[in-house]
Structure 1
Amino acid sequence: MIVGIDLGTTNSAVAIWRDGQAILVSNALGDPLTPSAVSLDPDGKTYVGAAALERFGTHPNDTALSFKRYMGTDRTVSLGKRKFKADDLSALVLKSLCDDVEAAFGERPAEAVITVPAYFNDRQRKATRRAGEIAGLKVRRLINEPTAAALAFGLQDQEDREPFLVFDLGGGTFDVSIVEKFEGVVEVRASAGDNRLGGDDFNAALAGLVKPRLDPSGLLARLDDVKREALLLRAAEAVRRQLSEADEAVFTVIAGEERLETRVTAADLEEASAALIQRLREPVVRALRDCTFDVAELSEIVLVGGATRMPIVRKAITRMFGRFPNATVHPDHAVALGAAVQAGLLSRDAALEEIRISDVCPFTLGVDMIERDSNGHIHHGVFSPIIDRNTPVPVSRLSTYQTVQDNQRELRFNIYQGEARVVSGNIHLGVISVPVPPRPAGEITADVRFSYDSSGLLEVDVTIPQTALQRSLVIVDEADRQSEKDLAERRAALAKLKFHPREEAQNVALMARADKTYEDLIGDERQAVGHWITEFAGALESQDPRRIADARAILGQRLDAIAAEAPL
């Protein structure tokens, strides 16, 4: 059995594809949402989900919440005398979800599709995959959360849709994706996000605002720091949820035998959250800019994630886009349901055979290089992008570099993922070196090709044209190394992309036709065709499939028009 899992910061959910539809699986309490919480008692007994969440108020030192934010880092969480990494804690949540599926259907899942924030980097994705393996699952695929939500949204009526934006604000992360659905293809055009923005931050902001008013005598200061913060954050979350339905709520903390209370209004929450609301805008702008869309071109703004229930968030979205968002998809269920759709696709369910997903590379991939300024000074560790973020995958791109020193004997490329200009601000993925013959600086060149697929496989090929020497490096999730056959198939698929667009048959033919037309004409018409050829050559050099396709169509139409005007 293969299941779809939304491994969330605040809550997690599991769904299966059965009888032509995605079905959420409820836990032992009858709730499809399981809190992403783990707690340990002094005897070593482990609590997961609602039971662990209840213990947070009374045993905060033995309970872990929001550990998804630490995925891919070395940070550990202490529960009693034991230390856990985020992937260990996530594995316990995944095991609990698998227990629920087994209880409901009498069969334990062996495989899973697990969702991740679109803006998770390579380390965070590998940590998520590792959590699945620790839980005893074969992780068939990691799918971006907005992509999963788009699947759930797109399957509501099976109709094609103009570009729509998925606005996913969960407990700990914020993602934006711009998606199109046409002829059975769900295509992600761009993604952006903030992995440090979610409902937890709104809780903390509200607690910080209310604390002086709640406890003017300083009673809470006598409590242990961890205990105090746990009480404030639990109360803040309860109030935030109440303010989604009402204009006023009571913020209550019980400290020992003392009961501290104060009234909190929606205006208070809005005041506390002003800076957080402002941060929602930047990823939206970045995603729109990357896919060159205007807000007016979006047909829908689809809300996903429990934090989108907050009226202040919905009001901010309405102001931002000049329209009301679409709330027809359940914000807490959409991601898990979409993951189940992907699970159905992987199991080749007949009801889904016409649906395909096209995703994008969420981060820029490139190498480090040396750059000289106008004074001749050398600057090391400058990032040189090869595959830009939000490029449709699978993709293959080529860039050329040259030696910078006389008699240089080696070219060494460190491979990075990220957006910072200086590589120290990006994620280091690997390194590849190739020997070169000693020549004057700039005389020896290297063609560096990156090929990347939707599962995170990155193949790097470095070729020295002057010697025909080639070196290759494959950067892949650890789990993929277990299946050499699967790896070989994926590399073979990428190999089909490893040519420059100017070598593609249809582009070669069109360029030859344009050259012949240029030769046949004189005067202003010849100059016009020459300009068109230059424009098309520029599109080919960009290696952007969309730009090339558009430029090819335009040039073809122009040449057809000239042919139609020929005297014979």
Structure 2
Amino acid sequence: MIVGIDLGTTNSLVAVWRDDAPQLVPNALGSVITPSVVGLDDQGLILVGQAARERLQTHPQLTTALFKRHMGSGHETTLGQRRFRPEELSALLLRSLKEDVERAYGEPVEEAVISVPAYFSDAQRKATRIAGELAGLKVEKLVNEPTAAALAYGLHHKDRETSFLVFDLGGGTFDVSILELFEGVMEVRASAGDNFLGGEDFDTALLQHFVASQREDAQFPDINGSGILHRLRCEAERVRQALGQQASETFVFSHGGRRWELEVTQDDLQKVSAALLERLRGPIERALRDARIRVADLDEVLLVGGTTRMPLVRKLAAGLFGRFPALHINPDEAVALGAAVQAALKSRAAALEEVVLTDVCPYTLGIETTMQFGRQYESGHYLPIIERNSVVPVSRVKTVQTLQDGQARVLLQIFQGESRLVKDNIPLGELDIPVPPRKAGEVKLDVRFTYDNNGILEAEVTLPDSGERHSLVIEKNPGVLSPEEVRQRLAELASLKVHPRNQQVNTLLLARLERLYQESLGEARSQLAQLAGAFQQVLAEQDPARIEAMREAVQVRLDEIEQSVWQ
């Protein structure tokens, strides 16, 4: 038996294909929604779901949530005397969902299609596969969450052509995908997202707002005290959900015999969430740009994920797209139902014979290269080979050459990401290739990347002169930066000594160059890399006149590039 699973940051669901339709499976408590929380009881036994969630406040040292956000990293969580990796915690949750289905249908569950955020990295996807394996499941396929939601929606419209955007804001992640449906083919045109933006972040904003309001009260407890932060977070979640139904709600916190209250209105929530709402715009604009589609050409906008129930999110979506989003699908259930549809496609269900799904590679994949600016060479630059939102399976090749006379080896370092410099992207692996020692530029290497439907990347390097080949299959989990490491790097940047490039006008231009580089593809991206490198070299010379002249020239060129992107 094969099932579809929505492995969510806050809640998880499981569904099966029965009677030519996807059906959600209730857990032992009769609910189709299982909180993504794992813990230990007082005897050291594992608790999963609602029972564990109830102990988040009372037994924070024995309970954990939000572990999906650490998937693909080396982060560990201590529960009692035991340390757990995110894959292990996810496996305990998956095993519970698997047992729910086996209890409901009396059949063993051996295979699963599991949903992941569209913007999940290579490492995070592989960690999800490992979690499935630890739970005793053969993971047939990982399906992107917006794609799964579109599958659930698309079944009702498969007889007509349509294009739609899926706006998926869950508990911990935000994804946006643009899809077209025609003649039984559902084609993903583009995906984008933010892996650290979801309902939990709105809860944090509310929590911080409440704590700030009590700043003058010397008796207000340290929020890092035992269980206090969890209690505040749970109250923030309650208030946020209440504000989805009413104009105001009272934030209440009791401790040590005292009680603190703060009335929170819709306007208050709007203000404290302003930065989060602004972050929703970037992925939407990127997906529209990559898909080469305008808002007016979309037939519908689908809201998926529990956080889209917030009125301010729906208001933002309506304003961005100039229409009211479609609300006829349950935002909490759509992903799980779509995962069951994908499971049925894998098992070749008769009712779905005519449905074909194509997807895209959500990230750019490339190698480190050295670029020439005048007479100077600068290493650490990113050479994209497979650009984001390429339809998979895909194979692309680019040719590089040796840099030095007598060079005997080439170290090919493979990265994933959208930044211009490899230090800001995710390393995936490397190939150390022996080459004949000749004059610089005489030895050429054809670098081919092949990315398949299962998210596995193969890098192959061929020396055209000899026909010699070297290959590397990127299958192992390389890990990614944890949230702690990200904060540490930001702190390191903030402590750097002042340099002319930190002058506001120059910093603004560098930020714009980086944004446009990440938003662009192909030749435009190459031009932007050259412009950025040249401008940084002028900054390093610290000649104000040259910097001003170069800055004006670059700004003119950026205006031209940015204008052409939307034409």
**Do they fold alike, i.e. is TM over 0.5?**
yes
SS in 2 for 1:221: coil
SS in 1 for 2:391: coil
Q: What is residue 463 of structure 1 aligned with on the other side?
A: 462
For residues 389-430 of structure 1, give each alpha carbon's deviation from its aligned partner in whole angstroms, at most 9, with x where no partner exists.
Answer: 011111111101111111222222111111122212222222
Structure 2 residues without counterparts, runs of 5 or longer: 478-521, 525-567
Q: What amino acid is aligned across from residue 424 of structure 1 in structure 2? A: K
Q: TM-score by structure 2 length?
A: 0.82
Distance in structure 2 (CA, Å) of the matches to 1:414 and 1:408: 17
In 2, Cα distance between equivalents of 1:171 and 1:226: 24
Give the 3-state SS of the residue equivalent to 2:441 in structure 1: coil
The match for 2:398 is 399
2:446 aligns with 447
Query: What is the Cα deviation at residue 334 of structure 1?
Result: 0.4
Secondary structure of residue in 1 paired with 2:101: helix
Aligned to 1:421: 420
Answering whether residue 378 of structure 2 is matched by residue 379 of structure 1, we say yes
Distance in structure 2 (CA, Å) of the matches to 1:24 and 1:178: 25
2: CA distance, partners of 1:29 / 1:245: 26
Deviation at 1:223, TM superposition (A): 6.3
Shift of the 35–220 alpha-carbon distance from structure 1 to 2, 3 Å rule, reads farther
Q: How does 1:41-56 map to 2 (within 5 A)?
A: 41-56=41-56
2:392 alignment partner, SS class = coil
Residue in 2 that maps onto 1:184: 184
CA-CA distance at 1:195 after TM superposition: 0.5
Alignment of 1:130-209 (within 5 A): 130-209=130-209
Higher deviation after alignment, 289-298 or 174-183: 289-298
Per the alignment, do residues 541 and 36 of structure 1 end up closer, same or farther by CA in structure 2, a change over 3 Å counting? closer
Give, as a single letter, the amino acid of the residue that structure 1 aligns with 2:202. Answer: F
The match for 2:269 is 269
Match of 2:346 in 1: 346
CA distance in 2: counterparts of 1:337 and 1:373, whole angstroms: 53
The Cα of 1:218 is off from its aligned counterpart by 4.0
Paired residue type of 1:75: H
Q: Identify the range of structure 1 (258-267 vs 416-425) with the bigger mean alpha-carbon deviation.
A: 258-267
Q: 3-state DSSP class of the match of 1:57?
A: coil
In the alignment, is residue 363 of structure 1 matched against residue 363 of structure 2? yes
Alignment of 1:37-436 (within 5 A): 37-213=37-213, 217-221=217-221, 224-374=224-374, 376-436=375-435
Q: Deviations over 1:95-127 (max 9, x none)?
A: 111111111111231110001001110111111
For 1:65 and 1:384, locate their aligned partners in 2 and report how far apart those are by CA, in whole Å. Answer: 38
Helix, strand or coil for the counterpart of 1:155? helix
C-alpha displacement of 1:344 = 0.5
Q: Which amino acid aligns with 2:284?
A: V
Instruction: Give the superposition deviation at 1:477.
Output: 5.9
Aligned residue identity for 1:168: D
What SS is found at the alignment partner of 2:22? Answer: strand
Cα 1:259–1:107, aligned 2, differ >3 Å: closer, same or farther? farther
Give per-residue Cα distances to partners, 1:303-353, cap 9 Å, x unaligned.
000000000000111111111111111100000000000100111111111
Letter in 1 for 2:182: F
Shift of 1:256: 4.0
Asked if the contact 1:457–1:474 (Cα under 8 Å) also holds between the matched residues in 2, the reply is yes
For residues 224 and 318 of structure 2, the distance between their equivalents in structure 1, rounded to whole angstroms, comes to 42
Contact 1:42-1:80 within 8 A present in 2 as well: no
Please report how far the alpha carbon of residue 157 of structure 1 lies from its aligned counterpart in structure 2 after TM superposition: 3.5
Number of aligned residues = 480
The 3-state SS of whatever aligns with 1:56 is coil
State the secondary structure of the residue aligned to 1:327. Answer: coil
Give the ranges of 4+ consecutive aligned residues of structure 1 lying more than 6 Å apart after TM superposition.
none
Q: Aligned residue for 1:476?
A: 475
Correspondence for 2:26:
26
- The answer to whether the 8 Å contact 2:152/2:335 transfers is yes
Q: CA deviation at 1:377?
A: 2.4
Measured after TM superposition, the shift of residue 43 of structure 1 is 2.1
Distance apart, 1:476 and its partner CA:
3.0
Report percent identity of matched pairs: 54
Residue 262 of structure 1, CA deviation:
2.5
Counterpart-to-counterpart distance in 1, 2:275 and 2:161: 33
2:28 alignment partner AA: A
The residue type equivalent to 2:145 in the other structure is: E
**One-letter code of the match for 2:455?**
G
Q: Secondary structure at the match of 1:360?
A: strand
Output the CA distance in 1 between the equivalents of 2:43 and 2:192: 44
Report the Cα offset of residue 207 of structure 1.
Answer: 1.1
1:222 Cα deviation from its structure 2 partner: 5.1
Q: Secondary structure at the match of 2:221?
A: helix
- Contact kept? 2:223, 2:229, Cα under 8 Å: no
Alpha-carbon distance in structure 1 between the residues aligned to 2:3 and 2:214: 45
Helix, strand or coil for the counterpart of 2:390?
coil
Contact 2:158 2:182 in 1 (8 A): no
For residue 226 of structure 1, report the CA deviation from its aligned partner: 4.8
Secondary structure of 1:392's partner? strand
The farther-off stretch of 41-50 and 22-31 is: 41-50
Deviation string for 1:234-292 (max 9, x for gaps)?
00100111110111112122324333333211111111101101100000011111111
Q: Which residue of the partner structure matches residue 35 of structure 1?
A: 35
What is the letter of the counterpart of residue 388 of structure 1? Answer: E
1:472 alignment partner AA? S
The amino acid across from 1:245 in the alignment is Q
TM-score by length of 1: 0.82
The structure that has the greater radius of gyration is: 1
Gaps of 5+ in 1: 479-539, 543-568
Q: Distance in 2 between matches of 1:73 and 1:330?
A: 32
Deviation readout 1:365-402 (Å, 9 max, x if unpaired): 1111122221x222222111000001111111110111
Q: 1:222 to 1:476 in 2, by over 3 A?
A: closer
Shift of 1:541: 11
Q: Does structure 1 retain, via aligned residues, the 8 Å contact 2:158–2:181?
A: no
Q: Alpha carbon RMSD of aligned pairs, Å?
A: 1.8
SS for the counterpart of 1:260 is strand
* 8 A contact 1:408–1:436 mirrored in 2: yes
Displacement after TM superposition at 1:220 (Å): 3.8
CA contact (8 A) 2:71 2:124 kept: yes
Give the equivalent residue in structure 2 for 1:553: none
Paired residues of 1:214 and 1:261 also in contact (CA < 8 A): no
* Between 148-157 and 458-467, the greater mean CA deviation after superposition: 458-467
**How far apart, CA to CA, are the structure 2 residues paired with 1:196 and 1:473?**
30
Q: Which amino acid aligns with 1:233?
A: R
- What residue is the counterpart of 1:526 in the other structure? none
Q: Distance in 2 between matches of 1:292 and 1:62?
A: 49
User: Which one-letter code corresponds to 1:428 in the other structure?
Assistant: P
1:323 aligns to what SS in structure 2?
coil
